Structure 1
Amino acid sequence: MKQIKHLSIILLFSSLFFSCNSLKTAVHDQYSYQKTVEIKVEASNLIDKATTPYTDHLKEIGDLGLEIQKIIEYEKSKPNNEITYAMWQVLANKDKNLLVGFFKRWKEKGQLKPFFVEEAKSQIIEAMDLLIQYEAKKDKETKDKLLQLITQ
């Protein structure tokens, strides 16, 4: 009887372990959520300044770039976090039309037209909002939207 009880407990814990391990999605991380919100707010404020000379904002741009590098390193080290990490890589890719790509264009042009800034800002903020939603919910719908954006 004791052996059956022990075997039942072992089977229960084993099934719990394997079922949780099969989810393959990182759990909610308050730090990731908070840093993503902070970076979004800083990026939004900085994007608004892109109608002025790039060289006037070198320190702010450098500081934001450093924050992006930090969050990427943090996200890279978390287990089962491929989606969030991949999305940060897309945001940080200077050859994409999102966050770091926007700053690259601003640098190349010197300053940008207000219409372009507004259009680009709405796309960047939408992508960051999606990342924030995913970090908060970790639901399938938001995950699928992020995957769609990552694979574009």
Structure 2
Amino acid sequence: MKHIKHALTFLLFSSVFFSCSSLKTAPYDQYSFQKTVEIKVEASNLIDKAITPYTDHLQEIGDLGLEIEKIIEYEKNKPNNEITYAMWKVLADADKNLLVGFFKRWKDKGQLNAIFVEEAKAQIMQAMDLLIQYESKKDKETKDKLLDLIGSN
């Protein structure tokens, strides 16, 4: 009977350990947090300029695009980082309505309406804020909100 009790205890702890380890989340990463904040600030400033001609800002847009590519490559190669990586892919998808999609629309239209810019900026900044919160907290509530956002895009 004692052996059965030990076996069941071992089985219980093993199943808890392995079930938790399969749901691992990448730990807090100062670089990811800092780069996400920097990209958000740069994007916010650049989005405000979308009421002017796209061609006036080619260098800034190119520089921001390069920063986004770098963070995606960094996030892709971190273990247990599927959620952050997926969110960056959504932000960088030109066919979505978030960050890079906004810049594609600006390029296609040449210049954007101030009301559209204001509304689009609010959505993009909200998405980036959620990513920043997730990167700093790594809590279930923020994770669930981020997964909902990824799923809806």
Give the superposition deviation at 1:136: 0.1
Query: Which residue of 2 is the match for residue 35 of structure 1?
Result: 35
Query: Which residue of 2 is the match for residue 113 of structure 1?
Result: 113
Matched ranges for 1:79-94 at <5 A: 79-94=79-94
Q: CA RMSD in A?
A: 1.7
Give the superposition deviation at 1:21: 2.9
For normalisation by structure 1, the TM-score amounts to 0.87
Query: Which residue of 1 is the match for residue 44 of structure 2?
Result: 44
Q: How many residues align?
A: 140
- Report Cα offsets for 1:63-118 as digits up to 9, x if no partner: 00000000000000000000000000000000000000000000000000000000
Letter in 2 for 1:109: K
Query: Which residue of 2 is the match for residue 6 of structure 1?
Result: none
Alpha-carbon distance between aligned partners in 2 of 1:76 and 1:20, rounded to the nearest angstrom: 22
Gaps of 5+ in 1: 1-10
Superposition misfits of 4+ residues, deviation over 4 angstroms: 14-20
SS in 1 for 2:27: coil
Percent of aligned positions that are identical: 82
